[in-house]
Structure formats: structure tokens, C-alpha cells
Amino acid sequence: MLTTNEIKQFASLKQKKFRLEHGKYLIEGFHLIEECLSSPHELEYIILRNDVDLQGHTAILEKIAQNKTIVEPLPEKLFNKLVDTESSQGIVGVVNRPEISKTNSLGDLIIALDKVSDPGNLGTIIRTAYWFGVDQILLSEDSADPYNPKVVRSTQGGIFHTNITEDADLAVELKKLESKGYSVYLFTLDAESSLSQITQSAKSDKSVIVFGSEAHGISKEIMDMGFGKVKIEGYSASESLNVAISAGIALYEFKQRAIEK
């Protein structure tokens, strides 16, 4: 049975400072619970509203047995302290924040985000990256917290399969990656080269694609570092393209280039 202090601590995880302090975050819904149990992320607790059970959720029950996840029921009044959605499915998970994977293989395509602060956009980018098999994302300071409940929901499980470096000094990290043979491409509306030109003529098979916030774009410091600049061609008078949509188009183009080679 959960103690009053444990319930209070878990409820506090809806705020970033307590997610950082306790090294945990919350997830909601059967789909995310099942995805988490099938990933390297450690699902410590499953908390059920007392009118909900796991009967019929065979995959979850099997994974619980393997992962030794603790399952606890809660009365509705207490359970509601944990949820962030208006129409909860009655199931919440408490997940330990992962450590960054220490691997020598970063993959051929990396995403870097400079102050992308909208949770929905960040979650969609993570979800799209997972779809395209890209598992390395660098987030600058002042980016949205990837373990914000809205971000986690937007990823549709992609958060559990992605290595995310938070509070990265992008100027430093991009230079390091360039020294390792990566071509760095800054996505900006005032670029002369189009995405199709870049993907057709790219000299390196290893690339970093960089996106900035919709409000301010990529910071001047990074824009002045001499990296390649690229734009997505538009076909109307529209001023800009949503950053998550831009990332999806770029991922598709770069993945197609890799296939064609």
C-alpha cells in the first residue's frame, strides 16, 4: 500500500523541479504503460484507480512479472492527484528517468533542437524521430522538458526508445560532431540551399539536422559558426512551417538519401 508521503511525492512529479529532484516522471494510459514495459526505461510503479484492473491486458501482465513492477490500487480521490488528463483511463506509471546511453555509435542522423519550448512540438519530433529510427536528440537549455506529461503523451511511446541529451551546449556539441565527420545543417528560412539540393549533394553519410524555436529560430551564436544552412521549399505565401512538421520532412528526405545510396 502506498503511503501518504509516496502519493504526495508522485503527485509532485507533475512539476519539473520535482521530476529532477526525485529522478522520476509520470506516464498515463495503457498504451504508454505497455510501451514503457517493453523499453529500457524502468517502470517502478503502476498505480490503478480502484475501479480499474489489468484483466484483459495480457501483454502488460506478462511484462509486469518480468520487470518486477509494483502494482498499487488507489481510491479515485487520491488517484486524481496524479493525473494530468481530463479523461483518465485510470492507470498511471511512475518511471525512473533514464541515464544517457553511453555508446560509441551515435547513428548516421542526429537531431539537435535549439530552444524548442513547445511541449507538443517536442513530443511530436520525438515520436517522428522514433518512426524514422533516429534515436539521438540533443536539446539546448531552455528547451521543453522531455518528461513533461504533455511531451510524454505526444511522443506516443517514442520517449522510451530515444537517447535525449538535455541542457546541451549546442555550439560545443555541434563542433564535436563536426570533428567526428558529421555534416551539420541549420534549418532556416533565409538559407539559399534547399533540402532537396542538400540531400542530393551531401558529402558525408553522417548528418546533424538543427532546428530552432518557431519564435526565434536558431541562435545567432550557432548561425555564425559556419555550418551549412538549408530551407524547405514552400509553394505559397505562408511565412513559415511548424517546426515538428519541418523535422518530419527533413527526416524523410535524409532517410531516403541513405536508402538510395
Residue 258's pLDDT band, with cuts at 50, 70 and 90, is low
- What is the residue extent of each domain of the chain? 4-96, 109-260
Q: Which residue has the higher pLDDT, 107 or 91?
A: 91
**Is the confidence at residue 246, as pLDDT, over 70?**
yes
Q: Tell me how far apart the alpha carbons of residues 150 and 82 are, in angstroms, rounded to a whole number.
A: 14
Average pLDDT over residues 9-27: 96
Rounded mean pLDDT of the chain? 91
Average pLDDT over residues 3-19: 96
109-260: which CATH architecture?
3-Layer(aba) Sandwich (3.40)
User: What's the CATH code, domain 4-96?
Assistant: 3.30.1330.30
Report the residue count for the chain.
Answer: 261
Q: What is the pLDDT of residues 30-82, one digit of tens each?
A: 999 999 999 989 999 999 999 999 999 999 999 998 888 999 999 999 999 99
Q: What is the pLDDT of residues 112-146, one digit of tens each?
A: 999 999 999 999 999 999 999 998 999 999 999 99
- pLDDT number for residue 199: 74
Contact criterion met (CB below 8 Å) for 65 and 187: no
- pLDDT number for residue 103: 47
Tell me the helices (H) and strands (E) count for the chain, helix number first.
Answer: 11, 11
Average pLDDT over residues 238-242: 85
Residue 259's pLDDT band, with cuts at 50, 70 and 90, is low
- pLDDT number for residue 17: 96
- pLDDT number for residue 84: 86
* Contact residues for 187 (Cβ-Cβ < 8 A; gap 6+): 209, 210, 211, 212, 218, 229, 230, 231, 232, 246, 250
Q: What is the pLDDT of residues 158-206, one digit of tens each?
A: 999 999 999 999 999 999 999 999 999 999 988 888 898 887 766 568 9
- What pTM was computed for the model? 0.92
